[in-house]
Amino acid sequence: MDEQEKGWITPYLYLYQGFCVPKSGTTWLKALTFAIVHRQHFPSLENYPLLVFNPHERVPPFEFVIYDDINDQTHDLSKIPEPRIFGTHVPFTSLAKSIKESNCKIIYICRNLFDTFVSTWVFVNKIMPKDLDKPNKVMFLKYEDLKEDVNFNVKKIAEFLDCPFTKEEESSGVIENIIKLCSFEKMKELKVNKSRTMGKGTIVENKYFFWKAKIGDWVNYLSPSMVEKLS
């Protein structure tokens, strides 16, 4: 190991030749989803929530924000104004039955194995056959597809969430504004994502949610032997 630093989840974060494990596009997806669903509430980009709040604060994760304190059982999610959007790292197969059988929509995003450096594809291959037969319940989204055609997938997400863009919105550039607002480059440079933190028991610096957002960058960090082991 080249370097050992204080981690943001575990006591220590080990860096090997400057390499940090990247994510699967969760932060970007949360920003896009929030902007799509709330576009009627915030038609102007001035003073937009995502300019002063990290996407994980607007779309809070169950395990790291809402239920960060296991002793706190006071949360009443029904009191949160609709539409309610949440995130979770809990595998789909482990979600509560009440969630699976509810009318809520689920967007599942994954990324190439080598770019995420975690074995997600095993899980993906298990859930795809049965759950993609429920297109009105689960939307399966690949990070690479989202990067390749953001415009198409933003419209696809909006349709899945039952809030499709109108022709007037499309012609007036609403989709393009959302894409620009939620772009990696834009979010990474915001003050809120450079200096602030989030979480209660587990404190996370917002800057850790933004690294490179590149496809195929794994070739610069993984040796042939590492690739062989991951394969």
Catalytic residues: 89
Q: In terms of C-beta density within 10 A (0-12 exposed, 13-18 middle, 19 or more buried), how is residue 51 classed? A: middle
Integer Cα distance of 64 and 70 in angstroms: 10
Integer Cα distance of 65 and 215 in angstroms: 29
Integer Cα distance of 42 and 196 in angstroms: 23
Integer Cα distance of 109 and 29 in angstroms: 8
| Nearest CA-CA partner of 113 in 28, 218, 223 | 218
DSSP-assigned beta bridge partners for residue 3: 15
